[in-house]
């Protein structure tokens, strides 16, 4: 039987987002609470929810294995902390009020058994742009390519599930916006108005897309990005969220971005944004999730 991925991974058309990261210990009571939260999510008509587990809960509930996120000490003093947590619930949909109602129901089910460590609400920004003003996810795989990039294929352990990464980045927009647009474009590697990729002979080797889009043995390590902008006037940035069919892809991309892949070049965009969280997760198929929560 073909495994069914959680539908919220690929649901499009959302305008508002909410990431809930919990720390918790495995117990029958927690399992029942997650099941109650999932029941609320399945009953929601205007919001989607994806349930994902850190290594500790994954091992306890299914025997699965996942590597924890580890701190990154990169080139030029760049750092990314590890804040590995146990349970991630990503809520999204076309209406902020529907997201709020579902998140309230989810948290109501969990709050006696899990500690909410991070709550990050987000939104679409100007035609799916990052707050830097550049279109986000231009090269994101679509349709069948998205399924191939995000999901463990049939015949492998965990089929229909997806590895996930979450990193909350805080942008320094005041510094970035002082740059002339051509300088900003050199940092990203694309034109700002229409997101046209620079030609290889013109694109800087430390441009964002040159560091974040990589290949091994001639094959691009594609991931399926679902990141979203968040914040207000004091603090704002990007909640980086992505899915992949294997965890290695995240490690390889991060090493290339942070300048620890061998050439000591780093992603120039990281001079204008700072990671403040980092966790790896696994989002099981619907069938596996059913078995885990029995």
User: Mind telling me the catalytic residues?
Assistant: 136
* Residue closest to 26 by CA, chosen among 50, 51, 62: 62
* Residue closest to 67 by CA, chosen among 275, 254, 288: 254
The structure tokens listed for 148 are 């191939």
Sign of dihedral through CA atoms 101, 105, 111, 112? positive
Contact criterion met (CB below 8 Å) for 173 and 132: yes
CA-to-CA distance for 177 and 175, rounded, in angstroms?
A: 6
Q: Rounded to the nearest 10 degrees, how much is the dihedral formed by the CA atoms of 88, 220, 127, 21?
A: 10
Q: Report how far apart the first and last C-alpha atoms of the chain are (Å, whole number).
A: 20
Helix 28-43, helix 96-110: angle, nearest 10: 160
Dihedrals phi, psi of 135, to nearest 5 degrees? -65, 130
Sign of dihedral through CA atoms 191, 197, 203, 209? positive
Q: DSSP string spanning 238-260?
A: EEEEEEESSTHHHHHHHHHHTT-
Cα 272–Cα 275–Cα 277 angle in degrees, nearest 5: 165
Kind of pairing between the strands at 224-225 and 236-244: antiparallel
CA-to-CA distance for 215 and 250, rounded, in angstroms?
A: 12
């Amino acid at each position: 039987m073909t495994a069914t991925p959680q539908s919220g991974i690929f649901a499009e058309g959302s305008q508002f987002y909410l990431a809930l990261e919990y720390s918790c210990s495995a117990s029958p009571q927690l399992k029942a609470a997650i099941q109650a939260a999932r029941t609320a999510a399945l009953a929601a008509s205007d919001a989607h929810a994806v349930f994902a587990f850190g290594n500790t809960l994954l091992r306890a509930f299914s025997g699965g294995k996942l590597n924890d996120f580890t701190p990154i000490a990169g080139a030029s003093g760049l750092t990314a902390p590890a804040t590995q947590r146990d349970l991630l619930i990503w809520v999204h949909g076309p209406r902020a009020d529907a997201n709020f109602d579902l998140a309230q129901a989810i948290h109501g089910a969990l709050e006696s058994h899990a500690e909410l460590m991070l709550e990050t609400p987000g939104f679409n920004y100007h035609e799916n742009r990052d707050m830097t003003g550049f279109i986000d996810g231009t090269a994101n795989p679509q349709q069948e390519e998205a399924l191939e990039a995000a999901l463990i294929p049939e015949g492998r352990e965990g089929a229909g599930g997806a590895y996930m990464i979450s990193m909350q980045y805080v942008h320094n927009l005041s510094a970035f916006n002082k740059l002339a647009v051509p300088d900003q474009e050199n940092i990203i590697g694309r034109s700002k108005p229409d997101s046209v990729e620079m030609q290889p002979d013109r694109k800087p080797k430390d441009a964002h897309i040159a560091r974040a889009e990589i290949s091994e043995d001639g094959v691009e390590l594609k991931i399926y990005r679902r990141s979203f902008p968040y914040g207000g006037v004091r603090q704002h940035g990007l909640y980086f969220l992505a899915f992949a069919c294997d965890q290695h892809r995240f490690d390889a991309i991060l090493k290339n971005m942070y300048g620890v892949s061998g050439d000591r070049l780093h992603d120039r965009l990281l001079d204008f944004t700072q990671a403040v969280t980092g966790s790896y997760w696994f989002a099981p198929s619907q069938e596996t999730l059913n078995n885990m929560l029995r």
